[in-house]
């Protein structure tokens, strides 16, 4: 048995080389396609896929290692369908001067980032604005399966319109030239075709005429939006919309987008009561009728508020997901630049007041909207928009876990949170043949939890093992503060290993 432990646990490389198949024994399966857990099941994983699920012993030829997972819960890996892997918390999109001045820190961060997502059970991500560093994420030897959208914007519309430095402008490769004839270079049809050829899953459009109540930026014309929609449909690409204000939601719905990638926090003239004001309910009802996906992205707002708190960098969860040098940097004057931007934006109100505006005001509106849609049985999509802003209060993987916690806090049921994190995203993005449930034929991206996620939201942070494309990884080895060679405490994880034959 000792030899098996060493095989499994010494390093990810060793495991990947050694393990083509795995049997998970006596595990309780929790999956969104099941109305209740299936207890004491056996699961065979082989060549990165779930090959068999059985109540009785699974017979296999040859030496196949097995995991006795008595009392544990096997769930599908989490999909966060709104993350930005080029962005660096506390720094921006990874192209700004602050990133360029700290190349070693940025490099360390990028090395840890994929492992931090896995540490919190995120085994698939969708990046709707990949920026210029996403290939560093996919080059890592262990990283969540990666999908992306590409942004279509123009020189006069958000987000390009607000970028002043050349390095930031480089991020936007697909610029549409409004008014060009069908199929001409730079036309909506030409741009959508190029995005399709790049291997992206979707296009992302921005419905943003100004932050807060401002409305000084133009939007793409209705004709351009219609041409993009038509071309995307022909190419089989989904259309994602950035929108978070009532009027921008109306425009996105009118443009027949597939998913709105932010919660609705800006209610225009309407204030928060104990229920949704009728004009807002009418827009949400329209979303439900058109089947438009909804990503709450509550962590965007929470992250803006939390960064204003004096102890923001002392979050006890950070050391597991963030290199220690980076946490130290968050405490330096150089890292204060974004807080200072927020202070200026709020006319130098006290930091605590600014924090409260975000944490209690706008988060509360987003929570009411989420609850309204969940009550209407409209599938919610887990998307954290990590990091959402240059706030360092959001860290990889942790932001996803907190987003799920915010769903539960808003009153979304635990079965609906499970669906939001798994099958809803898989179905919405056309990936349900590979992901979203624990069923034969699906990709073996799975989690072993020590508690039942249908009983407590905290189960999602009590991960013992992550199974990525069929490879078993002990969670603690993914942590930023994991010390290589440290003795493993397997007894506490309640998992023991054996092999079908001496190994």
Residues of this chain that interact with Zn ion (CB under 5 A) are 385
- Using alpha carbons only, give the angle 246, 251, 255 rounded to the nearest 5 degrees: 145
Question: What are the angstrom distances between the C-alpha of 249 and each of 283, 285, 408?
Answer: 8, 12, 24
Residue sitting closest to Zn ion (CB): 385
Tell me the C-alpha distance between 193 and 177, whole Å. Answer: 14
Closer Cβ to Zn ion, 385 or 403, answer by number? 385
The residue among 189 and 385 lying less far from Zn ion, judged by its C-beta, is 385
Distance CA(265)–CA(362), nearest Å, equals 5
Name 369's Cβ contacts closer than 8 Å, sequence gap at least 6. Answer: 263, 264, 276, 280, 284, 294, 296
Tell me how far apart the alpha carbons of residues 290 and 417 are, in angstroms, rounded to a whole number.
22
3-state secondary structure of 159: coil
Residues in the chain: 503
Which CB, 242 or 475, lies closer to Zn ion?
242
Cβ–Cβ < 8 Å for 402, 396 = no
Smallest separation (angstroms) from Zn ion to the CB of 248: 14
Pairwise CA distance, residues 302 & 294, whole Å:
18
Question: Measured from the CB of residue 129, what is the shortest distance to Zn ion in angstroms?
Answer: 6
Instruction: Please give the structure tokens belonging to residue 199.
Output: 């291997």
CA–CA separation, 57 vs 170, rounded Å? Answer: 56
Smallest gap, in angstroms, from Cβ of residue 169 to Zn ion?
A: 18
| CA–CA distances in Å: residue 413 to residues 32, 237, 239, 346, 456 | 13, 31, 28, 36, 10
Nearer to Zn ion, 23 or 260 (CB): 260
Of the pair 80, 145, the CB lying nearest Zn ion is at 80
Task: Please identify, using beta-carbon distances, which residue of 206 and 460 lies nearer to Zn ion.
Answer: 206
SS3 122: strand
Phi and psi at residue 76, to the nearest 5°: -65, 150
- In whole angstroms, the minimum distance from the beta carbon of 385 to Zn ion comes to 4
Closer of 241 and 466 to Zn ion (Cβ):
241
Nearer to Zn ion by C-beta: 306 or 385? 385
CB of 388 to Zn ion, least distance (A): 6
Residue 385 or residue 416: which is nearer to Zn ion going by CB? Answer: 385
How many other C-beta atoms can be found within 10 angstroms of the C-beta atom of residue 243?
A: 25
| DSSP-derived secondary structure letter, 270 | P
Whichever of 351 and 385 has its CB closer to Zn ion, that residue is: 385
Least separation, in Å, of the C-beta of 491 and Zn ion? Answer: 42
How far apart CA 89 and CA 244 sit, in angstroms, is 21
* Shortest CB 317 distance to Zn ion, Å: 22
Reduced to 3 states (helix: H, G, I; strand: E, B; else coil), residue 323 is coil
In angstroms, give the least distance from the CB of 161 to Zn ion: 17
Tell me how far, at minimum, the Cβ of 83 lies from Zn ion, in Å. Answer: 8
Structure tokens at 255: 């443009």
For residue 390, give both structure tokens: 């240059």
Q: From 265, 261, 260, select the one nearest 246 (Cα to Cα).
A: 265
Question: What's the min distance (Å) between Cβ of 262 and Zn ion?
Answer: 7
């Amino acid at each position: 048995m000792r030899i098996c432990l060493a095989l499994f646990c010494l390093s990810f490389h060793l495991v990947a080389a050694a393990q083509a198949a795995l049997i998970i024994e006596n595990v309780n399966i929790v999956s969104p396609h099941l109305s209740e857990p299936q207890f004491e099941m056996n699961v065979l994983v082989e060549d990165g896929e779930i090959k068999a699920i059985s109540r009785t012993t699974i017979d296999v030829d040859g030496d196949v290692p097995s995991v006795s997972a008595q009392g544990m819960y096997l769930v599908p890996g989490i999909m966060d369908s709104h993350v930005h892997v080029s962005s660096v918390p506390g720094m921006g999109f990874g192209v700004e001067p602050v990133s360029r001045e700290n190349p070693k820190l940025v490099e360390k961060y990028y090395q840890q980032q994929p492992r931090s997502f896995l540490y919190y059970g995120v085994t698939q991500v969708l990046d709707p604005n990949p920026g210029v560093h996403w290939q560093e994420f996919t080059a890592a030897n262990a990283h969540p399966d990666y999908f992306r959208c590409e942004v279509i914007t123009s020189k006069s519309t958000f987000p390009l319109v607000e970028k002043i430095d050349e390095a930031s402008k480089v991020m936007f490769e697909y610029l549409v030239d409004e008014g060009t004839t069908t199929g001409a270079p730079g036309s909506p049809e030409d741009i959508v075709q190029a995005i399709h050829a790049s291997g992206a899953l979707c296009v992302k459009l921005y419905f943003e005429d100004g932050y807060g109540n401002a409305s000084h930026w133009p939007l793409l014309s209705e004709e351009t939006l219609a041409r993009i929609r038509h071309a995307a449909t022909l190419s089989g690409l989904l259309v994602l919309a950035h929108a978070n204000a009532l009027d921008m939601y109306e425009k996105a719905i009118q443009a027949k987008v597939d998913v709105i990638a932010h919660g609705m926090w800006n209610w225009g003239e309407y204030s928060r009561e104990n229920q949704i004001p009728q004009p807002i309910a009418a827009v949400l009802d329209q979303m439900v009728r058109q089947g438009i996906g909804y990503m709450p992205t509550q962590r965007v707002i929470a992250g803006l508020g939390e960064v204003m708190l004096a102890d923001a960098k002392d979050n006890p969860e950070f050391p597991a997901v963030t290199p220690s040098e980076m946490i130290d940097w968050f405490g330096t004057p150089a890292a204060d630049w974004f807080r200072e931007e927020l202070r200026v934006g709020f006319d130098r109100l006290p930091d605590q007041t600014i924090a409260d505006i975000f944490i209690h005001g706008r988060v509360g509106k987003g929570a009411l909207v989420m609850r309204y849609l969940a009550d209407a049985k409209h599938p919610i999509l887990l998307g954290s928009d990590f990091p959402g802003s240059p706030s360092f209060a959001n860290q990889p993987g942790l932001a996803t876990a907190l987003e799920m916690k915010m769903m539960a806090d808003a009153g979304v049921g635990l079965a609906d949170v499970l669906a939001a994190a798994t099958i809803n995203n898989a179905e919405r993005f056309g990936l349900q043949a590979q992901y979203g449930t624990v069923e034969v034929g699906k990709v073996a991206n799975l989690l072993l939890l020590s508690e039942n996620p249908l009983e407590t939201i905290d189960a999602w942070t009590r991960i013992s093992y992550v199974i990525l494309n069929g490879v078993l990884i002990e969670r603690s080895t993914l942590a930023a503060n994991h010390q290589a060679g440290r003795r493993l405490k397997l007894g506490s994880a309640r998992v023991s290993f054996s092999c079908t034959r001496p190994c």
